[in-house]
Structure 1
Amino acid sequence: MVQYAIVGCGHIANKHVEAIEAAEGAKLSAVCDRDPRRLEPFAAKGIHSFTDMERMITSVTVDVVNICTPSGLHAPLAIQAANAGKHVVVEKPMALTLKDADAILQACERNGVQLAVVHPNRFRPVMKALRQRVDEGAFGSFSHANATVRWNRNQEYYNQAPWRGSRAMDGGVLMNQAIHNLDLMLWLMGDVEEVSAYQATRFRQIEAEDVSVSVLRFASGALGVIEAAVTLYPRNLEESLALFGETGTAVVSGPTANWIQTWKFADQTDEDSEQTIHRIHEDPQGLPGHSAIIRDMTAAVREGRRPVVNGEDGRKALELVIACQRAAELGRPVRLSELRRDVNQGGAS
């Protein structure tokens, strides 16, 4: 059995618990949280419970540590786990700076452990179908893409926990809400070279932005648009991803980007497209994303291979968020090579 431990027993930890319990060959052996009250349900089930991570990883047999804390705490805890020889699953975003992300990657490489970043939306049936079409060259050359997150996070949501909406622990709408969609865009479209952006804090009484709009130029020459907001009234409206090529158009939408809105390709008949749409609509969720992440990590540990969604993938999504934020702050286009140069020179990007 691959033994798992969870650090941070807030809301998102529940998905990790369910995923570990459902995965063959995986077992939840320990949990850790600074608040003893959050540990009570686990202790009642006989799961080893700790308020100190160092004590946990030295007292209980653990193979993988899942980091489920507020985002600003991901880096030090992931590094601590890696230095103890534990494989790491870290929630998105893997860190809030590229310097911290690189420190995690280096710690995992130095200690010979695997690193998975929780970007579970890649495992949705519609996204796997979309990736297959990209790999088959069905779009031809891309002209542009659009990633949209139009959600509602009201003031009550931010008031529930002091870290929400802060720059040091949350990072804003792109970092905390939209980063999954950005990961998908990069996974399907390839690397981004340059970004221009605007961002604002319009309605929520928070430190970070609640709305952001960015324009991208990909390395391929294609263009892109990112619109992300938590200001929608009165509830979540949509999350969508649209890809446009010379021989294909696909728009995936719905409240959480599970459904096909448009599916047209030069190499497919309308009947072929309708069959794909019907198949996706019959089971839009598929295997829950966190379950896919845990199953893959369990197999990666056993087989000595990298996870499907690895640390480099997590860093790319983080890099794009930071590029958008910097472009908005500076009021000019930002090339991603600037961020890389800054990190190489010891900056804190």
Structure 2
Amino acid sequence: MKYFAIVGCGHIANKHIEAIARTEGAELLALCDTNQARLDDLRAVTTAKLYTDMAAMLQAEPRIDVICICTPSGLHASLAIQAAQAGKHLIIEKPISLTLADADAIIEAVASSGVKAAVVHPNRYRPAMKQLKRALEEENFGKLSHVNATVRWNRNQAYYDQAPWRGTKLMDGGVLMNQAIHNLDLLLWLFGPVAKVKSIVDTRIRDIEAEDVAVAALKFESGALGTVEAATTIFDKNLEESIGVFGEYGYAIVGGKTANWIKEWKSSKMTQDQIESLIRDIEHDPFGVSGHQCIIEDMVRAIDEGRSPAVTVEDGKRAIQLVIDIVDDGYIG
């Protein structure tokens, strides 16, 4: 049995609580948050011990194997380092940090402590994304001309106003670091490293410090071109999230309000029966097992098998490196 604790009990902590409960060989031992009222609200859904200080939790609960860091992003580094130095394995919510220096500090603490650490990029586990990854590995689209990632979402002013850290550069980041980070991770995971970035980034609609809209042109080391469009300014509702790939032998678009459905798929390297079967499988179960549960399960196995987690802290650093490159090149606010 692997014993888990969660530090930071905002909305995202509920996904970790559910994922741990559904994972064989995992048990939630403790919750930690500086807000006692928030902890009290969780009493109805868990029997875990409650703490308002992580150091006190570590001292009182020596059985803890893994700590899930679910605080505002600007706090990830200090808490992750503290947990690693205490010999605890880590699952860190996205983004791993808001700066490269903090990411490097986490990576160093993990290496020197000999613990395992994963970053929560759960969209890799979506059934359609796994099929897209497989198709790319089998070169079913041939040489790629270009790819794209689109995030057209609504986060209204009330969303940002619900907590003073939201939308700040120090604690939260903007649309790229907070919302589109998942899609940038997918671009890197699916298509490899980015060699060049040209972008325009601005704060157009929301009253926040960080950007609320960004567009970027990328060139991957493979030679493929890419585009990114990310916004939280879309009126009224989430409109679209998609990943598209276009190559010499075909194309695919995985999209919808969330990128869970195959909207287009054509490949001269696949039979029509293969394509139709793939699409039917995705339509039958577009969500699959929760990505958070997959990450929890993978951590349990990684500890047992003495290997690195599937989504590493180095992966987390590469995603924020791309965010920083886009913002640094293009911010005009």
Q: TM-score band, normalised by the shorter chain?
A: over 0.9
User: How many angstroms apart in 2 are the aligned matches of 1:224 and 1:326?
Assistant: 18
- Deviation of the 1:246 alpha carbon: 1.2
Q: How is 1:255-274 mapped onto 2 (pairs within 5 angstroms)? A: 255-274=257-276
Q: How is 1:270-285 mapped onto 2 (pairs within 5 angstroms)? A: 270-285=272-287
Where 2:243 maps in the other structure, the secondary structure is: strand
User: How many angstroms apart in 2 are the aligned matches of 1:160 and 1:117?
Assistant: 25
Q: Which residue does 1:133 correspond to in 2?
A: 135
Paired letter, 2:312: N
Aligned match for 2:323, one of 300, 321, 324: 321
- Deviation of the 1:244 alpha carbon: 1.0
- Do 2:5 and 2:64's aligned partners in 1 also have CA atoms closer than 8 Å? yes
- Do 2:202 and 2:332's aligned partners in 1 also have CA atoms closer than 8 Å? no
Paired letter, 1:191: P
Paired letter, 2:37: R
Q: How is 1:301-316 mapped onto 2 (pairs within 5 angstroms)? A: 301-316=303-318
- Deviation of the 1:129 alpha carbon: 0.4
Output the TM-score relative to the length of structure 2: 0.97
Q: Which residue does 2:55 correspond to in 1?
A: 54
- Deviation of the 1:271 alpha carbon: 2.7
Aligned match for 2:89, one of 84, 87, 90: 87
Paired letter, 1:50: Y
User: How many angstroms apart in 1 are the aligned matches of 2:66 and 2:214?
Assistant: 35
- Do 1:42 and 1:48's aligned partners in 2 also have CA atoms closer than 8 Å? no
2:246 pairs with 1:244: yes
User: How many angstroms apart in 2 are the aligned matches of 1:250 and 1:180?
Assistant: 19
Q: Which residue does 1:66 correspond to in 2?
A: 68
Report Cα offsets for 1:51-84 as digits up to 9, x if no partner.
1101111110210010000000001100110011
Report Cα offsets for 1:306-348 as digits up to 9, x if no partner.
11111111111111000000001389xxxxxxxxxxxxxxxxx
User: How many angstroms apart in 2 are the aligned matches of 1:66 and 1:279?
Assistant: 32
Where 1:12 maps in the other structure, the secondary structure is: helix
Q: Which residue does 2:40 correspond to in 1?
A: 40
Q: Which residue does 1:254 correspond to in 2?
A: 256
Give the gaps of 5 or more residues in structure 2: none
User: How many angstroms apart in 1 are the aligned matches of 2:304 and 2:270?
Assistant: 40
Aligned residue pairs total 331
Q: Which residue does 1:10 correspond to in 2?
A: 10
User: How many angstroms apart in 2 are the aligned matches of 1:287 and 1:321?
Assistant: 28
Where 1:80 maps in the other structure, the secondary structure is: helix
- Do 1:202 and 1:210's aligned partners in 2 also have CA atoms closer than 8 Å? yes
User: How many angstroms apart in 1 are the aligned matches of 2:98 and 2:152?
Assistant: 22
- Deviation of the 1:142 alpha carbon: 1.1
2:217 pairs with 1:220: no
- Do 2:140 and 2:270's aligned partners in 1 also have CA atoms closer than 8 Å? no
Where 1:268 maps in the other structure, the secondary structure is: coil
- Deviation of the 1:287 alpha carbon: 0.2
Paired letter, 1:180: H
Q: Which residue does 1:340 correspond to in 2?
A: none
Q: Which residue does 1:183 correspond to in 2?
A: 185
User: How many angstroms apart in 1 are the aligned matches of 2:23 and 2:48?
Assistant: 17
- Deviation of the 1:42 alpha carbon: 4.3
Q: Which residue does 1:295 correspond to in 2?
A: 297
User: How many angstroms apart in 2 are the aligned matches of 1:225 and 1:208?
Assistant: 21
Q: Which residue does 2:19 correspond to in 1?
A: 19
User: How many angstroms apart in 2 are the aligned matches of 1:111 and 1:58?
Assistant: 18
- Deviation of the 1:297 alpha carbon: 0.7
User: How many angstroms apart in 1 are the aligned matches of 2:96 and 2:181?
Assistant: 10
- Do 1:31 and 1:42's aligned partners in 2 also have CA atoms closer than 8 Å? no
RMSD after superposition: 1.2
Where 1:69 maps in the other structure, the secondary structure is: coil
Output the TM-score relative to the length of structure 1: 0.93
User: How many angstroms apart in 2 are the aligned matches of 1:304 and 1:272?
Assistant: 37
Where 1:232 maps in the other structure, the secondary structure is: coil
The percent of aligned pairs where both chains have the same amino acid is 57
